[in-house]
Amino acid sequence: MKVGLIRCMQTEDMCPGKTCLKVMSEKKCAFKEISEDVEVVGFISCGGCPGKKTVTRAAEMVKRGADTIAMASCITKGAPIGFPCPHVQLMKEAIAKKLGENIRFIDYTH
């Protein structure tokens, strides 16, 4: 599995992404059922609210080999700021529309 990870731009200055990367490499949390090797192709922010840049950023990661887009827990669960992104479903729908239905999504990391 080749993963492109999208994170919340608002959390960049307080979270270095270590836990997201760790659970991917150790196949824990959202990655515990993954039997294949996990390779991170890219790790990028949404570009800021309302996440309009996620489509072009996800497309670029797919061009570079990603077959899966993971939404980091800062987007879907609100960690560490305690506020899940209200735009996550629209971002996922827009990415799927652009990249096709064969792109895999992982809804959180940890």
How far apart CA 92 and CA 81 sit, in angstroms, is: 21
Give the per-residue pLDDT at 102.
Answer: 81
Q: Which 3-state string (H, E, C) describes the chain?
A: CEEEEEECHHHCCCCCCHHHHHHHHCCCHHHCCCCCCCEEEEEEECCCCCCCCHHHHHHHHHHCCCCEEEECHHHHCCCCCCCCCCCHHHHHHHHHHHHCCCCEEECCCC
2-106 has which fold? Rossmann fold (3.40.50)
Give the per-residue pLDDT at 51.
Answer: 94
32, amino acid identity: K
Average pLDDT over every residue of 54-58: 97
Report the run of H or E that residue 5 belongs to, with start and end: strand 2-7
Say what the pTM is: 0.93
- Domain chopping of the chain, boundaries: 2-106
Q: Supply the angle between the helices 54-63 and 88-99 in degrees, to the nearest 10.
A: 40
- Residue 81 above 90 pLDDT? no
